[in-house]
Amino acid sequence: MKTFHIAVLPGDGIGGEVVAEAVKVLRAVEAQMTGVAFDLTEHSVGAAEYLKNGDPLPASAFAACRAADAVLLGAMGLPSVRWPDGKELTPQIDLRERLDLYCGLRPIRLYHAAHCPLKNYGAGEIDFVIFRENCEGLFSSRLAPRDPAADEARDTLRITRRGAERICQAAFREARRRHRKVTLVDKANVLPSMVFFREVFDSVARHYPDVETERVYVDAMALYLVQRPHTFDVIVTENMFGDILSDLAAGLIGGMGMAPSADIGEGCAVFQPSHGTAPDIAGKGIANPIATILSLALMLDWLDHPETKAAAKRINDAVEAVLADPANRTRDLGGALSTTQMGDLVAARC
């Protein structure tokens, strides 16, 4: 029997509500496995933990994440809870950087025509994945001290050869698996850092002659994602551009409640919905748990055991089957199902 140790971090706001549904689904697929078990340990992190003990990511929780086979995370931070200098707590970014989870994987798939604000797109016709560089880019100076008396403030967009190479390589590997193409999103017409990013992309591309490539400026990409999202397969970009475009992309498939993510490093990974803590709907039982359930499927696939891979497919198929029926929608998608009702439906189909 293989036991996978999973650190579970519900966090703040709707984090706990959506993680509970993912755990329900995990237990449902585990019940059908013969050679795999999951040992889940829950850790308190985020704004509530900060208010209690002064640290949103306590050393014990961080050590547990490092030691676990994988981490399942809800969401962390609340707009009203801030550091003394006024900045919001962002322990999810600290976790990414400290574990060097450079590869931000954001799959975008349309499950039902009615979830898409654009006309003429049916289920499966929007289906691409964003590879967001997670550890440098425009976030790289985010922890630098700021002089409150100064008349200017700066952020640095840092691209290293190693950082650009490894995210581009990950994107090309995935494109080869999907047999299609990679779109580089940059701003190489204006920023020297982006000229460098494009040079690295081009040098990685030479090792993948079978993969089609295209290069698009980020402003044009915002337009094309709305005009022709079906033409994209694998998209690779720096941290901040990936942050913005993945929210836009989530808007194409029904909103944040439909967008899963994985932050992957060397032998370590965190799986969480792309959304935040959604304080506007927290505690109401109406959050859509699908993004977290799909993130769980990414985790099971990444664990790379024949039984977990099969379970990942069962979850994806269950989500597809449940969402094919227009009666099965949470409020964000125009329906009336609660968070737990949606979780129950998916768990029952697995």
Q: How far is CA 114 from CA 39, 107, 254, 325, in A?
A: 38, 19, 8, 11
* Residues between 1 and 30 that touch ligand ATP (CB under 6 A): 14, 18
Alpha-carbon distance 64 to 129, whole Å? 29
Q: How far is CA 125 from CA 39, 130, 145, 228, 300, in A?
A: 37, 16, 45, 11, 24
Phi, psi values for residue 15, rounded to 5°: -50, -50
Least distance CB 332 / ligand ATP (angstroms)? 4
Least distance CB 255 / ligand ATP (angstroms)? 6
- Eight-class DSSP state of 87: P
Q: Which of 107, 163, 257, 343 binds ligand ATP (CB under 6 A)?
A: 257
Q: Tell me if 245 sits within 8 A of 221, measured CB to CB.
A: yes
Least distance CB 222 / ligand ATP (angstroms)? 17
The tally of CA atoms less than 13 A away on the side-chain side of residue 316 is 19
71 membership: H or E segment, kind and range: strand 70-75
Q: Tell me if 216 sits within 8 A of 224, measured CB to CB.
A: yes
Confirm or reject binding of residue 137 to ligand ATP (CB under 6 A): no
Confirm or reject binding of residue 275 to ligand ATP (CB under 6 A): yes
Confirm or reject binding of residue 288 to ligand ATP (CB under 6 A): yes
Confirm or reject binding of residue 278 to ligand ATP (CB under 6 A): yes
Alpha-carbon distance 41 to 111, whole Å? 32
Q: Which of 183, 237, 239, 277 binds ligand ATP (CB under 6 A)?
A: 277
Residue 192: CB atoms within 10 A of its CB come to: 10
Binding mask 62-101 for ligand ATP (x = CB under 6 A): ---------------x------------------------
Confirm or reject binding of residue 287 to ligand ATP (CB under 6 A): yes
Binding mask 185-224 for ligand ATP (x = CB under 6 A): ----------------------------------------
Q: Which of 332, 337, 342, 347 binds ligand ATP (CB under 6 A)?
A: 332
Confirm or reject binding of residue 337 to ligand ATP (CB under 6 A): no
Tokens encoding 251: 């808007």
Piece in contact with ligand ATP (CB under 6 A), picked from 32-40, 56-64, 186-194, 253-261: 253-261
Which residues are at the interface with ligand ATP (CB under 6 A)?
14, 18, 77, 255-257, 275-278, 280-281, 287-288, 291, 332
